[in-house]
Chains A and B, each alone.
Chain A
Amino acid sequence: MCLAIPGKVVSISGDDPLVRMGRINFSGIIKEASLAYVPEVQIGDYVIVHVGFALSKVDEAEAQKIFEYLKQMDELGDLKEGAT
């Protein structure tokens, strides 16, 4: 039950923020989810969905950071190797 997964918002229906629903694409499987708790979300955004509710919008820039960090680690490693 606790599984919450990221998916892409492909369409949005309803104007009232409390009943705003989105169709979310999870690797090809489309499911409906309430967007009541993520009023800022637009079509094309990625959201984390749990029991039919989008709980947060995935931050693209932050999502990249771990890969940048790993890349830096590589470069540092190369530097160290070069020094010996």
Chain B
Amino acid sequence: MKYLDEYRDGDLAQKLAAEIHRVTTKPWTIMEVCGGQTHAIVKFGIDELLPQKITLIHGPGCPVCVTPLEVIDQALEIAARPEVIFTSFGDMLRVPGSTTDLLSVKATGGDVRIVYSPLDAVKIAAENPAREVVFFGVGFETTAPATAMAVYQAAQKGLKNFSLLISHVLVPPAIEALMSSPNCRVQAFLAAGHVCAVMGYEEYFPLVKTYRVPIVVTGFEPLDILHGILLTVQQLESGRAEVENQYVRAVSRGGNQPAQDLVKKVFKVVPRKWRGIGEIAQSGLGLSENYAAFDAARKFKVTDHHVEEPAECIAGLILQGQKKPHECPAFGTRCTPEHPFGATMVSSEGACAAYYRYRRHAAAQPWRPHERA
């Protein structure tokens, strides 16, 4: 497949890795923000190609992982109502709430449906005027334009039976929160390419200036990630801290203007709690006043759930890069993708699940692309 296979070429990857070895003289700690990159790094064994001096930390960039337990509980409460058709991306279905998950609600009679696109939920609402259709709007800036379009089209069509349980999150405030924490060990970031495809990378210039950290906008294929790491290390080694764009084939500095415009129209920036990290100011999107009628939490008056995370789960530390999944005592024994304690085990983009899938039988193998795909 064009734009896919050629970026997985093992020989070229080795070449980039050799160049990284050549330029690295000091120890560096780099965080890949996006769960998609974490998945690729662990799947293709990219970290094993790197010099030992380089430590990759897996960041909070998995929306499934950072959706707070309270919101999952609200989803479960709404999904259990008889008049509701609850629609969601597939990967939210097994995320454990305090007591159960959406899949179990479905098994006990709840009308829970997996959709590929938020527009599918709008279609279901149009076809089922007697039912209440709720879409679980989670995700980063990448997903927000899709959710925004769903709300916009529902409003245009005058659909009164469509609403959103929304827990959208924004990446730059999370990077800032990580950087300003006194425990922060991260010296540079690979920024998430697809988030930047939407938002551009203007927002990173002040961060680079304030915290003196290189931020390199990076794609998702092995060659992209290695190239992103190379650019990052070159900056670190030469004492520079700049915004750089590795993923030029899909990302422009200004991003996608029509998408940003609609997101701005439908949503407003709000404070948001991140599972495992806590509340971050101005780090989420909520419906703007004009579209408040589409707010499912208001419509169904869901209660404020008080929740406690399983005491054993150290997902919070993992999301902040202070621990690796296999350092968790429950990893792979009491906590597995079949019986996840924390959300980082549920989503394939979560660090715990990625390690479980590709690293459980730890013996590092040399990288042979395609074989482990």
Contact = CB atoms under 8 A, between A and B. Distances in A.
Is the A/B pair a real complex?
Answer: yes
A24 to B, nearest CB: 12
Interface in A21-41: 26-27, 31, 33-34, 36-39
Contacts of A33: 117
Nearest to B226: A66
A4 B141 CA distance: 12
Given A37-B145, A48-B194, A66-B223, A2 B258 contact: no
Contacts of A3: 36
Nearest to B227: A66
> Mostly helix, strand, loop or mixed at chain B's interface?
helix
A73 B14 CA distance: 12
A28 to B, nearest CB: 9
A37 to B, nearest CB: 4
Interface in B320-352: 347, 349
B97 interface: no
Q: How large is the interface on A (under 10, 10 to 19, 20 to 34, 35 or more residues)?
A: 35 or more
A36 B153 CA distance: 12
Contacts of B153: 18-19
Q: How large is the interface on B (under 10, 10 to 19, 20 to 34, 35 or more residues)?
A: 35 or more
A5 to B, nearest CB: 7
Nearest to B139: A1
B20 to A, nearest CB: 12
Interface in A58-84: 58-60, 62-63, 65-67, 70, 73-74
B94 to A, nearest CB: 13
Contacts of A27: 1, 4
B291 interface: no
A51 B118 contact: yes
Interface in A2-20: 2-6, 8, 18-19
B89 interface: yes
A39 B251 CA distance: 16
Interface of B: 1-4, 6-7, 12, 15-16, 19, 34-36, 61-64, 89-92, 116-120, 138-140, 142-143, 145-146, 149, 152-153, 194, 197-198, 220, 223-224, 227, 248-252, 256, 258-259, 262, 347, 349
Interface of A: 1-6, 8, 18-19, 26-27, 31, 33-34, 36-39, 46, 48, 50-53, 55-56, 58-60, 62-63, 65-67, 70, 73-74
